[in-house]
Structure 1
């Protein structure tokens, strides 16, 4: 049975690092929107079209994921999945295709996220956006960490 892996967390939480390791371990197709967006638009974090572009890239990636899951392949979506409702929606989509859905999440304290993002910002290398810490702090207020039910594969929203 195909598996849809959801990488959950805020910037700096290690999602992409874990997604790369998981892809190497399982052979799953890894889809990371930030890599595509940086390649197409460079660091457009403050561009008025950033969010629209990001949403369009994620929609394209979901189309690719659907085809891959439908063919029996595993897929890793490195989207962040900040809300329970979004995670539940993707889990329902996977289930409708006969695939399982698994969450990958590590609980990282905000001060550690700030440290990691600051270090990444200082180098601005590796295809990362420069993320102001004020943005990260605002995002942390809306982020909904997965609960035990979600982590065990039961999605409700």
Structure 2
């Protein structure tokens, strides 16, 4: 169908039909994406997530916000974090898929720092049948610790992470391997 034929066709439709067609076209917008991020604590994941979320039709979902709102006093060690994170993921999964299927880009400020975390995040894009952008922030541990000290001092993160906690959590951190078959975008 040529442009003029399309204009003629749309001009004959009533307002309700036109709105339905526009809603359908927006729902399947080609720039709809699911963004997720990999990087050590204080590597800049949340900063990048907030920057990405400034784009039109983009929604930011932050694990730290959900955890601090629902479970701030209940997370005292790594096992509690894993348990509460799993609960949040179970609740949000279908909702996130629906948001993306409705034509929204969603930025997941959840760590993609282990194969299991990355698998879950990629599965959201697969379930929604949309493309994903997997951002990797490569920042060395010493710089992350320096940033972490500043972040803890400023208090702009709902959780204060000690250097010992950083070291413990970093033991579980891994960049993606080729076996995971992820398309990666390296950030500077």
TM range (shorter): 0.7 to 0.9
Cα distance change of structure 1 residues 90 and 42 upon mapping to structure 2, 3 Å threshold: closer
Q: 2:150 aligns to what?
A: 119
In the TM superposition, residue 49 of structure 1 has moved relative to its aligned partner by 4.2
Distance in 1, matches of 2:57 and 2:41, equals: 24
1:145 maps to 2:179: no
Q: 2:93 aligns to what?
A: 62
In the TM superposition, residue 3 of structure 1 has moved relative to its aligned partner by 1.0
Distance in 2, matches of 1:45 and 1:10, equals: 19
Distance in 1, matches of 2:49 and 2:94, equals: 19
Contact 1:38-1:127 at 8 Å conserved across structures = no
Q: 2:132 aligns to what?
A: 101
Q: Report how many residues are paired.
A: 152
1:35 maps to 2:65: yes
Distance in 2, matches of 1:24 and 1:141, equals: 33
Matches of residues 43-58 of structure 1 in structure 2 within 5 Å?
Answer: 44-46=74-76, 49-58=80-89
Cα distance change of structure 1 residues 145 and 50 upon mapping to structure 2, 3 Å threshold: closer
In the TM superposition, residue 26 of structure 1 has moved relative to its aligned partner by 4.3
Structure 1 gaps of 5+ residues are none
1:130 maps to 2:121: no
Q: Segments of 4+ in structure 1 off by > 6 A?
A: none
In the TM superposition, residue 43 of structure 1 has moved relative to its aligned partner by 5.6
1:83 maps to 2:87: no
Distance in 2, matches of 1:152 and 1:16, equals: 18
Alignment RMSD (CA, Å) = 2.5
Distance in 1, matches of 2:123 and 2:34, equals: 11
> What TM-score do the two structures reach when normalised by structure 2?
0.69
In the TM superposition, residue 100 of structure 1 has moved relative to its aligned partner by 0.5
Cα distance change of structure 1 residues 87 and 26 upon mapping to structure 2, 3 Å threshold: farther
Distance in 1, matches of 2:143 and 2:75, equals: 22
Structure 2 gaps of 5+ residues are 1-29
Q: More relative contact order in 1 or in 2 (CA 8 Å, sep 6+)? A: 1
Aligned partner of residue 24 in structure 1, secondary structure: coil
